[in-house]
Amino acid sequence: MIRVLVAEDHTIVREGIKQLIGLAKDLQVAGEASNGEQLLEALRVTPCEVVLLDISMPGVNGLEAIPRIRALSNPPAILVLSMHDEAQMAARALKIGAAGYATKDSDPALLLTAIRRVASGGRYIDPDLADRMVFEVGLTDSRPLHSLLSEREFSVFERLAQGANVNDIAQQLALSSKTISTHKARLMQKLNITSLAELVKYAMEHKLV
**CATH code, domain with 151:** 1.10.10.10
Predicted pLDDT of residue 127: 80
Instruction: Residue 43: name the closest of 79, 83, 6 by CA.
Output: 6
Longest Cα separation, the chain: 53
Predicted pLDDT of residue 83: 83
- d(C-alpha 153, C-alpha 171), whole Å: 15
- d(C-alpha 106, C-alpha 103), whole Å: 5
- d(C-alpha 64, C-alpha 59), whole Å: 9
The DSSP H or E segment spanning 148 is none
Domain that holds residue 166: 144-205
What is the model's pTM? 0.70
Predicted pLDDT of residue 106: 82
* Same domain flag for 8 and 84: yes
* Same domain flag for 37 and 130: yes
* Same domain flag for 109 and 185: no
**CATH code, domain with 118:** 3.40.50.2300
Where a domain ends, among 90, 112, 136? 136
* Same domain flag for 197 and 97: no
- What's the one-letter identity of residue 176? S
Ordered strands of the 27-33 beta sheet: 27-33, 2-7, 50-53, 77-82, 100-103, 124-125
> Which residues of the chain are modeled with pLDDT < 70?
131-143
Predicted pLDDT of residue 145: 81
Predicted pLDDT of residue 139: 46
